[in-house]
Structure 1
Amino acid sequence: MNMEQESNNNIKKADLSRYGITSRLLMKEALRKGYQVTTVPGRLATSHVVRCEKDGKELYFYNLNTALNPSYAVQVNEDKIWTNNILHQSHIQIPDTYPLKINRPEDVVIDDTLRKMLESYELLVVKSATANYSNNVLVNAGDEEGLLRAIHHVYQNSGGQPDIIVQQMVFGQEYRFLVLNKKVIAVACRRPPYVVGDGVSTIRTLISRKNNNCSKYDNRHASLVAKINIEDVSRHKGAHFLQQVPEKGSVVEVLDTLNLSRGGEAVDVTSYVSDEFKTIAIQAASACFFGIAGIDIVTDNISGDGNDSYVVRVKASPGIRMHQFPTEGKPRNVVRKLFHAIEKTAHPIGKKIVMIGRVEKVALPDLVNEKFKARIDTGATVSSIWASDIRVDKTGLYCKLFGEGSPVYTGEELHFSEYSMRSVRSSNGYEELRYQVVINVSLAGRRVKAKVTLADRSGQIYPMLIGRNILRNKFIVHVAEGDIDKKAESSNRQELRQNGLQ
Structure 2
Amino acid sequence: MDFKHEGWLPHLIDSIPVAARKNHTSLYTIALEGWRRGLGVRFFKGDNHEIGCILTWKDREYSFIGSSGELITDDIIEICNDKGRTNEFLSKAGVPIPLGKEFGEDVADEVILGYAKQINFPLVLKPTDGRAGRGVYAGIKNEQDLKHALKAVRVNLGYKNILVQQYVTGDEVRIYVLDGRVLAASNRRPANILGDGTSTVKELIVRKNILRKKVPSLYFRPIKIDKEVHDALKNAGYTMESIPKKDERIFLRRISNLSRGGESVDITDKLTPEQRSIAIRATKAIPGLVQCGVDMIINEETGSGVILELNTRPGIGNHLFPVEGTATDIPKEILNYYIPETKAFETVHSNAYFEFDHILDTLKGDSAAEIEIRPYTGKLSAFKIIVSGENDYSLLYDEIEPIIFEQNLHGHLEPKPPQTSVLIVAGANMDILQNFIKDLKKITGNLDLTITGIEEFQNPVMTGFRMLDDGKDMSLRSLRAEIKKIEEKRSLIEKETVRINRRINLIQKSVSWKLSAPFRVLFDKIGRKRN
User: Which bracket does the TM-score occupy, shorter chain normalised?
Assistant: 0.5 to 0.7
Quote the residue 2:128 is aligned against.
129
Quote the residue 2:362 is aligned against.
none
Distance 2:227 2:340 in 1: 43
Q: Work out whether residues 20 and 28 of structure 2, in 8 Å CA contact, stay in contact via their aligned partners in 1.
A: yes
Code of the aligned partner of 1:32: R
Q: Which has the larger radius of gyration?
A: 2
Quote the residue 2:65 is aligned against.
62
Quote the residue 2:329 is aligned against.
333
Equivalent of 1:255 in 253, 266, 291: 253
Q: Work out whether residues 191 and 263 of structure 2, in 8 Å CA contact, stay in contact via their aligned partners in 1.
A: yes
Cα RMSD, aligned residues only: 3.0
Q: Work out whether residues 135 and 157 of structure 1, in 8 Å CA contact, stay in contact via their aligned partners in 2.
A: no
Equivalent of 1:31 in 35, 38, 52: 35
- Structure 1 unpaired stretches of 5+: 1-10, 347-502
Distance 2:325 2:94 in 1: 32
Q: Is the aligned partner of 1:49 residue 2:52?
A: yes
Distance 1:215 1:102 in 2: 40
Residue 258 of structure 1 aligns to a residue in which SS?
Answer: coil
Code of the aligned partner of 1:115: K
Quote the residue 2:296 is aligned against.
297
Q: 1:279 offset after TM fit, Å?
A: 0.9
Question: Within 5 Å, which residues of 2 pair with 1:162-241?
Answer: 162-214=160-212, 216=214, 222-223=217-218, 226-230=221-225, 237=232, 241=239
Deviations 1:171-225 (A, max 9, x none): 111111110001111111211121122333221011112233446256xxx5469
Deviations 1:140-172 (A, max 9, x none): 44x33332332222111342x331111100111
Q: Work out whether residues 193 and 255 of structure 1, in 8 Å CA contact, stay in contact via their aligned partners in 2.
A: yes
Residue 254 of structure 2 aligns to a residue in which SS?
Answer: coil
Task: Report which of the two has the higher share of strand.
Answer: 1
Q: Work out whether residues 320 and 330 of structure 2, in 8 Å CA contact, stay in contact via their aligned partners in 1.
A: yes
Q: Work out whether residues 232 and 251 of structure 2, in 8 Å CA contact, stay in contact via their aligned partners in 1.
A: no
Distance 2:181 2:72 in 1: 15
Distance 2:88 2:134 in 1: 20
Quote the residue 1:482 is aligned against.
none
Residue 113 of structure 1 aligns to a residue in which SS?
Answer: helix
Q: Is the aligned partner of 1:268 residue 2:266?
A: yes
Q: Work out whether residues 21 and 220 of structure 2, in 8 Å CA contact, stay in contact via their aligned partners in 1.
A: no
Distance 1:345 1:79 in 2: 36
Q: 1:22 offset after TM fit, Å?
A: 0.3
The change in CA–CA distance for 1:292 and 1:135 in structure 2 (over 3 A counts) is: same
Q: 1:15 offset after TM fit, Å?
A: 5.0
Code of the aligned partner of 1:194: N
The change in CA–CA distance for 1:205 and 1:34 in structure 2 (over 3 A counts) is: same
Code of the aligned partner of 2:248: S
Report the count of equivalent residues: 323
Distance 1:43 1:58 in 2: 18
Code of the aligned partner of 2:77: V
Distance 1:192 1:32 in 2: 35
Residue 204 of structure 1 aligns to a residue in which SS?
Answer: helix
Code of the aligned partner of 2:188: R
Q: TM-score, normalised by structure 1?
A: 0.58
Q: 1:67 offset after TM fit, Å?
A: 2.3
Q: Work out whether residues 316 and 330 of structure 2, in 8 Å CA contact, stay in contact via their aligned partners in 1.
A: yes
Distance 2:58 2:128 in 1: 44
Distance 1:181 1:217 in 2: 28
Q: Work out whether residues 268 and 331 of structure 1, in 8 Å CA contact, stay in contact via their aligned partners in 2.
A: yes
Code of the aligned partner of 1:259: N
Q: 1:260 offset after TM fit, Å?
A: 2.4
Distance 1:14 1:164 in 2: 36
Q: 1:282 offset after TM fit, Å?
A: 0.4
Deviations 1:425-444 (A, max 9, x none): xxxxxxxxxxxxxxxxxxxx
Distance 1:253 1:127 in 2: 21
Code of the aligned partner of 1:62: I
Question: Within 5 Å, which residues of 2 pair with 1:482-493?
Answer: none
Question: Within 5 Å, which residues of 2 pair with 1:416-455?
Answer: none
Equivalent of 1:88 in 84, 91, 95: 91
Q: TM-score, normalised by structure 2?
A: 0.55
Q: Is the aligned partner of 1:78 residue 2:81?
A: yes
Q: Is the aligned partner of 1:323 residue 2:322?
A: no
- Structure 2 unpaired stretches of 5+: 1-14, 343-531
Q: 1:102 offset after TM fit, Å?
A: 2.9
